[in-house]
Amino acid sequence: MNSNQSEHPVKTLVILLNMGGPQNKDEIHPYLKELFQDRELLKLPFQKILGRFIAWRRTPKIQERYEEIGQYSPTKAIMESQCEGIAQKLDQLNPESAPHVCVSGFRYCSPRPGEMIKQYKGAEKIILFSQYPQHSCCTSGSSFCDAYRWLDKQNNADYQSKISVIDQWWDRADYTELWAMLIQRKFEEMKKEHGLNDEDIRIIYSAHSLPESYCLEKGDKYNEEIQGSVNRIEKVLQENGMRHEGALAWQSKVGPQRTKWLSPSTPNVIAETKQKAILMVPIAFTTDHIETLDEIDIEFRGYADEVVDHFARVDCFNMEEKFIDLCARLVIEHMKNDFKSSIRPCCVNCEGSDCASMRKYFSSSPVHYSS
């Protein structure tokens, strides 16, 4: 069912959670203000005041970056197409829970999850589906807490009785195999186009970085889940006969310069490359946005041009048919498991004011990792 057909009865509402992105130049400052005032993402002294100041300082630079990729973030348009495909697939594969509506719910811009829940309040079941395969308090945790705060204010027991969540799915075989397929496809294209051997191409898996303290002191497992994802993908690629060097790197540092971030940084890993070519894999992202289209495709390509002869990036999942199938499968499995919510337990030294309440609201049970 089309995501805009709110006048029709809806049995199952699926909301894909993501950061979102500004749709024009005027939306960039409000977007950044929301982002830097998010205490789950970045904890600052005098958060509202300093967050507004950082957003004001960074707005002109970010506007320049968006101009380089066409003035706006493509995330919303891509996700609208993803939602359309997922809803159609669910109607086809699981008619007993149809009609389905699938919509986006963004953390820092409209439409927010609360807007979509209110618009489709007649739905019998509501599923919040995190589009972050690896869980972090800064991403999935922030989105779930944001939705929880809106729901808690409604004081509506009906909402709580019919809402559930899907979280972290990085350790699924079909997720691993999807990345392996996309990587191998691009890898073979590079070899054929440039006359390269396997050993001539270095694969760099680049993920959004976090302050080191989030993982070492708070206990956020995001870095371990990213590393686990890379290990699984590399194992499949090797089993498929690829002979190459793979490396994990971290990108997109924001906030105070004195903060120590996860390392090594993507620019440093690029700089130390000895091979003839680099193939970048945006391992933490499912949909193209400024960090892939500008930071990787433009900024990192510039670094790479100084050390290698050839540079390419594996596409994000975007409208890849196997990704739509994967999302539909996850939703159906969730429904067949009685809509049980499973969010990773709080960090050992959790500092979030709403984390425990959010998990209690969604009646979340701990996630059990597969081996």
Residue 159 appears among annotated catalytic residues: no
Residue 100 appears among annotated catalytic residues: no
Distance, CA of 313 to CA of 364 (rounded, Å): 36
Catalytic residue among 225, 295, 297, 354: 295
What's the CA angle centered on 152, arms 340 and 20, to 5 degrees? 75
Give the number of residues written for the chain.
371
Residue 288 appears among annotated catalytic residues: yes
Residue 19 appears among annotated catalytic residues: yes
Residue 31 appears among annotated catalytic residues: no
Buried b / exposed e across 272-311, counting CB within 10 Å, b at 16+? ebebbbbbbbbbbbbbbbbbbbbbbbebbbebbeeebebb
Q: Which long-range contacts (CB under 8 A, 24 or more apart) does 353-359 make?
A: 353/39, 354/145, 354/148, 354/149, 355/137, 355/141, 355/145, 357/148, 357/152, 358/141, 358/144, 358/145, 358/148
User: Torsions phi, psi of 122, nearest 5?
Assistant: -80, -5
SS3 of residue 311 by DSSP: strand
Catalytic residue among 108, 132, 159, 205: 108
246-to-64, 155, 177, 202, 296 alpha-carbon distances in Å:
32, 50, 16, 6, 17
Residue 262, token pair as written in the block: 């996860």
Residue 301 appears among annotated catalytic residues: no
Buried b / exposed e across 199-226, counting CB within 10 Å, b at 16+? ebbbbbbbbbbbbeebbeebebbbbebb
Residue 174 appears among annotated catalytic residues: no
Residue 272 appears among annotated catalytic residues: no
Cβ atoms of residues 109 and 20 within 8 Å:
yes
Catalytic residue among 16, 17, 19, 210: 19
Catalytic residue among 17, 41, 116, 182: 41
Catalytic residue among 35, 90, 128, 178: 35
What is the Rg, in whole angstroms, of the alpha carbon atoms belonging to the chain?
A: 20
> Given the DSSP bridges, would you call strands 100-106 and 277-281 parallel, antiparallel or unpaired?
unpaired
Buried b / exposed e across 94-117, counting CB within 10 Å, b at 16+? beebbbbbbbbbbbbbebbbbebb
What single letter denotes the amino acid at residue 70? G
Residue 361 appears among annotated catalytic residues: no
> Given the DSSP bridges, would you call strands 12-18 and 125-130 parallel, antiparallel or unpaired?
parallel
Catalytic residue among 100, 135, 202, 208: 208
Q: How far is CA 264 from the centre of its chain?
A: 21
Catalytic residue among 107, 112, 135, 344: 107
Cβ atoms of residues 133 and 208 within 8 Å:
no
Catalytic residue among 146, 220, 234, 291: 291
Catalytic residue among 27, 288, 294, 297: 288
What single letter denotes the amino acid at residue 50? L
Active site residues: 19, 35, 41, 107-108, 208, 288, 291, 295
